[in-house]
Amino acid sequence: MKKSEKANDILRLLNRYVPEAPVPLHHKDTYTLLIAVLLSAQCTDERVNKTTPLLFARADNPFDMARLPVDEIREIIKPCGLSPMKSKAISELSKILVEKYNGHVPETFEELEALPGVGHKTASVVMVQGFGKPAFPVDTHIHRLAYRWGLSNGKSVQQTEKDLKRLFAPEAWARVHLQMIYYGRRYCPARGHRWTACPICAKYLRKELRNKEV
């Protein structure tokens, strides 16, 4: 079977098992989305969604956030982990948005990735979920699934992104990205994985991985 045919079949299974794939991070605009995604690094979406209401009650726009002391931001976001680094990035990027972009979040990868604490994956999420522009965010979970299902060689997150973009149509990237996240959580977790209980792995788990899990 060609890899493109496999991708189409996997998409069919994703549509069957994850018909609804809402954006997991709560937000009201591109700025609050940007902050939520930044906080989600090495943290669960559930924890972020419990923390952001407290932070956004103090400041839900770059103008107010830029005026908050970094120590106050750090104390609020401490449950999300990496709070010294994240609080500094939130403060600094908010000041840049105010000074350079009149409080607006920029709409290009180059400008987003130039902001403190914003890497390519974060920028991709903002582009596709905030601005509706074609992007395929690849985190460690999607990277793992793409390798497990034989859609990518797993050598790097960057290569996985290229492979997935080639296999799926641009108009499907936003949906497939979210479907893979939800599907992985329910049927194909990193720990305690049973390939026989995962409809996709039951068909497509890489042979070398299946041998290890038998």
**Residue 121 annotated as catalytic:** yes
DSSP-derived secondary structure letter, 203: H
**b/e 39-50 (16+ beta carbons within 10 angstroms → b):** bbbebebeebbe
**Of 71, 86, 95, 121, catalytic:** 121
Residue 64 half-sphere exposure, CB side, CA atoms within 13 Å? 9
**Residue 163 annotated as catalytic:** no
**Of 60, 86, 139, 163, catalytic:** 139
Distant-in-sequence, close-in-space partners of 31: CB < 8 Å, separation ≥ 6:
60, 61, 62, 97, 103, 105
Distant-in-sequence, close-in-space partners of 161: CB < 8 Å, separation ≥ 6:
136, 138
Catalytic residues: 121, 139
